Structure 1
Amino acid sequence: MDASYPPRYSTLAGALPNDATLGDITAAINNSEAMQNTSTPLNPPSYSSVYRNASRRRQPMSPRQDQNVASGSSGPQVHEYHIKTGSKSNPWATLQVFSKCSADSGSSGQKVPCFTSSDSVQGALQLTLDSPQNINSISLSRVNRHRYQLRGRIITSSYEDGSSTFLDHPVISWSRSNGDPRCVSPSIEDNVSSRAKKFDGKLSGQYSWPFCFPFPKSLPAQGHEGGLPVPQSFFERGVQASVQYDLVLRMTHGLLRSDSKMQVNIAYVPDIAPGPSSILRNYAYSERSPLPGPEIDPEGWLALPTTVIRGRLFSDRMIKLRSSQSFTRGTIIPCHLSVECTDEQALDLLANPKSLAVRLLRRVEYCDDGTKNSISSSRGVGNADVNKLQTHTSEVERAVWLPTRSTNSSPVRQFNGEIHLNKELQPSCLSPLFKVSYYVELLPFECSVFKPSSSTFDDSSIPFRKEGASRALLSRQVTIATLHGEGPRPVPFTKPKHRKERKTTSRDFSSSIVPVALFQCM
Structure 2
Amino acid sequence: MPAPAYLDFEELPDYSPSESVPTPRAEHVFSLFQKKQKWASLYMLSYAKSSSSLPMLLQGLELPCRVELDLSKPTQIRKVTATVEVAISSVEWAGEMATTTEDASRANGRIFYAKEHVLWDSNSNSDTGQRASLQGRHTWSFNVSLPKEVSFSDKSKDVYPTPPSFTEPSVPVNIDYRVRVSIKHGWMGGKSSLLGRFGYLPLDIADPPSPLRTMVYQEASGYLLGPDADPEGWQILPSVTTKGTLFSVRMTEIKATLAIAKPLCYSLNTPIPLILTLESSDRQALDVVSQPSMIHLHLARTLSYRRNPIQPTNDTPRHTDAVGPVTAAYFWPEAPPGIDGEHSSGDSPNKRVLRGEVLVHRILKPSFTFARLTVQYQLDFFAFEGPGFVPAVPSSSANALIPIPLISQPIKVVARRPPGVLARSFAPPGSPDLSILVASTQQRNIILFA
- Shorter chain as denominator, the TM-score bin is 0.7 to 0.9
For 1:120, the equivalent position in structure 2 comes to 62
Q: Does 1:248 align with 2:180?
A: yes
| Contact 1:392 1:506 (8 Å CA) reproduced | no
| Contact 2:24 2:47 (8 Å CA) reproduced | yes
Which one of the candidate residues 153, 173, 176 is aligned to 2:118? 173
Q: In 1, Cα distance between the equivalents of 2:180 and 2:437? A: 42
Superposed displacement of residue 340, structure 1: 1.1
For 2:79, the equivalent position in structure 1 comes to 137
For 1:97, the equivalent position in structure 2 comes to 44
Q: Does 1:273 align with 2:232?
A: no
Q: In 1, Cα distance between the equivalents of 2:437 and 2:304? A: 27
Deviation by residue 1:100-125 (Cα, 9 ceiling, x = unmatched): 33578xxxxx3232101111232233
* SS in structure 2 at match of 1:134: strand
| Contact 1:467 1:509 (8 Å CA) reproduced | no
More off after superposition, 256-265 vs 496-505: 496-505
For 1:421, the equivalent position in structure 2 comes to 360
| Contact 1:378 1:432 (8 Å CA) reproduced | yes
Q: In 1, Cα distance between the equivalents of 2:45 and 2:123? A: 29
Q: Does 1:355 align with 2:294?
A: yes
For 2:140, the equivalent position in structure 1 comes to 209
- Tell me the TM-score normalized by structure 1: 0.67
Q: In 1, Cα distance between the equivalents of 2:50 and 2:291? A: 41
| Contact 2:321 2:449 (8 Å CA) reproduced | no
Count of aligned positions: 404
Q: Superposed, which structure 2 residues align to 1:72-83 within 5 Å?
A: 74=23, 76-83=25-32
- Tell me the TM-score normalized by structure 2: 0.77
* SS in structure 2 at match of 1:136: strand
Superposed displacement of residue 144, structure 1: 2.2
Q: 1:482 to 1:175 in 2, by over 3 A?
A: closer
Give the percent of matched residue pairs that are identical in Structure 1 and Structure 2.
Answer: 21
* SS in structure 1 at match of 2:292: coil
Which one of the candidate residues 371, 374, 378 is aligned to 1:439? 378
* SS in structure 2 at match of 1:101: coil
Taking only aligned residues, the RMSD between alpha carbons, in angstroms, comes to 3.8
Q: 1:429 to 1:505 in 2, by over 3 A?
A: farther
* SS in structure 2 at match of 1:281: helix
Q: In 1, Cα distance between the equivalents of 2:63 and 2:368? A: 21
For 1:400, the equivalent position in structure 2 comes to 330
| Contact 2:299 2:377 (8 Å CA) reproduced | yes
| Contact 2:294 2:385 (8 Å CA) reproduced | yes
Q: Which runs of 5+ in 2 are unaligned?
A: 1-8, 16-21, 99-103, 336-344
For 1:239, the equivalent position in structure 2 comes to 171
More off after superposition, 157-166 vs 341-350: 157-166
For 2:341, the equivalent position in structure 1 comes to none
Q: Which runs of 5+ in 1 are unaligned?
A: 1-65, 105-109, 184-196, 368-372, 458-463, 514-522
Question: Higher strand proportion, which one?
Answer: 2
For 1:30, the equivalent position in structure 2 comes to none
Q: Does 1:478 align with 2:411?
A: yes
Q: In 2, Cα distance between the equivalents of 1:224 and 1:312? A: 56
Counterpart of 1:270, as a letter, is P
For 1:516, the equivalent position in structure 2 comes to none
Q: 1:310 to 1:297 in 2, by over 3 A?
A: same
| Contact 1:121 1:213 (8 Å CA) reproduced | yes
Q: In 1, Cα distance between the equivalents of 2:285 and 2:274? A: 23
Q: 1:223 to 1:167 in 2, by over 3 A?
A: closer
Deviation by residue 1:164-208 (Cα, 9 ceiling, x = unmatched): 1333413223786x832267xxxxxxxxxxxxx9x4322325654
Superposed displacement of residue 300, structure 1: 1.2
Superposed displacement of residue 416, structure 1: 0.2
Deviation by residue 1:196-251 (Cα, 9 ceiling, x = unmatched): x9x432232565433234213321256656x1123322333443443321100111
Counterpart of 1:508, as a letter, is N
For 1:307, the equivalent position in structure 2 comes to 240
Q: 1:500 to 1:439 in 2, by over 3 A?
A: closer
Superposed displacement of residue 492, structure 1: 0.9
Q: In 2, Cα distance between the equivalents of 1:154 and 1:425? A: 25
| Contact 1:116 1:215 (8 Å CA) reproduced | no
Deviation by residue 1:250-285 (Cα, 9 ceiling, x = unmatched): 112256474111000111111122110111112222
Q: Does 1:111 align with 2:53?
A: yes
* SS in structure 1 at match of 2:257: strand
For 1:56, the equivalent position in structure 2 comes to none
